[in-house]
Structure formats: structure tokens, C-alpha cells
């Protein structure tokens, strides 16, 4: 199976690219969805509670993500501790999903991972795609979409590698700074290349 790692940054349009690929028959393994589901798993709840205490557990025994977020997003060490718990679980779960997709007969799948480089998931990829836009466009898109100030957007962007850094590490750069038709032309071309080169 040919595995593509798809990443980008906030406001780059990665989710739109991922949705287009899914609509064109490519199975997507979504890291954000996987994390969301893992938060409700007993194994994850136990590990997070052991690290952060019972104050972040709801009366129903689930993780209070707002309470956890207020801890980890103001403390780098706490965030790294949470990532050390979550990343191995997410990786394991995504590899299982990939196995299921391969058994179903698919020849290509995509790992949609915002922190592909930061979490080290790129090791599992045959090819890495970065959805790129210039930094100023990225900031303007997020400010408009999320009604944030420039300072708030820049703070969020600092939590990820910059798109220009990611671009240097990519096998394929999808330039999403033009109109959608221009992006779609790039996506069609790259998918045709993969199917041709790998005889899929």
C-alpha cells in the first residue's frame, strides 16, 4: 500500500484538500478524529488522569477537555507530557486503520496529520504532501475564519512548524494560494502520477 502523509498549518486549506481526496475515493486516516475517539477510551482516560489528576475528569468519568486544555496550552511541559501519552496511542490506532484499509483492497491511503513532523509520524509515509500558502495569507484566513486578532493567530502558529519549514521537508507541495481550480489541477496531476509510477 502506498501511504501519503498530508499536512499543512492552520488556514492552509489542508482539510479542504483532504475532503477532495476522500470524495475521489482515497481513504483518509484522520489524526484529529482518531485523537477525539481516543479521549473516550478507558486506557487513555487512565493515563491522562494519572498524569494530570482527577480534576480533569467529569462526573461521568470522561476527560474534561476544556479543563485539560487550560492546563496544557499555558504550560509547554504539560503539553509535551500529554503528547507523550497521546502520540503513541494515535500512531498505533492509525496503523490499525491502515491495515483495515489495505485488507479491503485499497492501494493508496492518506494520513491526514496536522503535526506530522512534530509527532514523528512522517516515518511511516512513502511520500509527504504539504498544503502551503504564504504566511500573510495564512494569518488573514485564520483571522477571518475564527474572528481572532493577529496576535492570537500568531500565537497559534508558533505552536506548529511554519509552512515554509514544512515545505522544505515535503516531497510534494500543494500551493493553495490561488483559486480552488488551480489547487484541484495540482491534486489530479499528483494522484495520476502516483497511480502511474506505482502501477496501481
Give residue-wise pLDDT tens across range 115-165.
899 888 988 899 999 999 998 888 888 888 888 888 877 777 776 788 999
111, 5 in Cβ contact below 8 A? yes
For residue 145, what pLDDT is reported?
85
Across the range 98-125, mean pLDDT stands at: 93
Beta bridge partners of 127: 4
Please spell the DSSP secondary structure of 36-87, one letter per residue.
HHHTTSHHHHHHHHHHH-GGGB-TTSSB-HHHHHHHHTT-HHHHHHHHHHHH
C-alpha cell at 4: 501519503
The DSSP output letter for 149 is -
Residue 8 to residue 30: CA distance in whole angstroms? 13
Neighbours of 4 (CB within 10 A): 22
Residue 92, classified by CB atoms within 10 Å of its CB into exposed (0-12), middle (13-18) or buried (19+), is exposed
Across the range 172-187, mean pLDDT stands at: 96
Residue 30 to residue 94: CA distance in whole angstroms? 8
Buried/exposed 13-33: b ≥16 CB within 10 Å, e otherwise: bbeebbebbeeeebbbbbbee
Q: List phi, psi (to 5°) of 104.
A: -80, -5
Task: Grade residue 18 by pLDDT with cuts at 50, 70 and 90.
Answer: very high
Task: Note the pTM of the prediction, 2 decimals.
Answer: 0.89
Beta bridge partners of 173: 130
Q: List phi, psi (to 5°) of 111.
A: -95, 115
Going along the chain from its start, the domains and CATH numbers come out as 1-27+106-195 (3.40.50.300), 32-105 (3.40.50.300)
Neighbours of 78 (CB within 10 A): 15
Residue 77 to residue 83: CA distance in whole angstroms? 10
State the average pLDDT for the chain.
91
Residue 30 has pLDDT above 90, yes or no: yes
Residues 6+ apart with CB under 8 A from 146: 153
pLDDT in tens, 48-90: 999 999 888 998 899 998 889 888 877 889 989 999 999 999 9
- Could you tell me where the beta strands, DSSP code E, fall in 80-162? 108-112, 127-132
Amino acid at each position: 500500500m502506498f501511504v501519503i502523509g498530508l499536512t499543512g498549518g492552520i488556514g492552509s486549506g489542508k482539510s479542504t484538500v483532504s475532503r477532495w481526496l476522500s470524495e475521489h475515493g482515497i481513504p483518509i486516516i484522520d489524526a484529529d478524529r482518531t485523537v477525539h475517539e481516543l479521549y473516550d477510551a478507558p486506557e487513555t482516560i487512565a493515563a491522562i488522569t494519572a498524569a494530570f489528576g482527577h480534576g480533569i475528569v467529569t462526573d461521568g468519568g470522561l476527560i474534561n477537555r476544556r479543563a485539560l486544555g487550560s492546563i496544557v496550552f499555558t504550560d509547554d511541559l504539560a503539553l509535551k507530557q500529554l503528547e507523550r501519552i497521546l502520540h503513541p496511542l494515535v500512531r498505533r490506532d492509525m496503523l490499525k486503520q491502515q491495515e483495515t484499509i489495505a485488507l479491503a483492497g485499497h492501494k493508496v491511503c492518506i494520513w491526514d496529520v496536522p503535526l506530522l513532523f512534530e509527532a514523528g509520524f512522517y516515518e511511516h509515509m512513502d511520500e509527504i504532501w504539504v498544503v502551503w500558502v504564504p504566511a500573510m495569507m495564512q494569518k488573514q484566513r485564520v483571522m477571518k475564519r475564527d474572528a481572532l486578532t493577529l496576535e492570537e493567530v500568531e500565537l497559534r502558529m508558533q505552536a506548529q512548524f511554519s509552512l515554509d519549514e514544512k515545505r522544505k521537508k515535503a516531497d510534494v507541495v500543494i500551493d493553495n494560494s490561488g483559486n480552488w481550480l488551480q489547487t484541484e489541477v495540482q491534486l489530479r496531476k499528483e494522484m495520476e502520477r502516483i497511480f502511474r509510477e506505482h502501477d496501481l
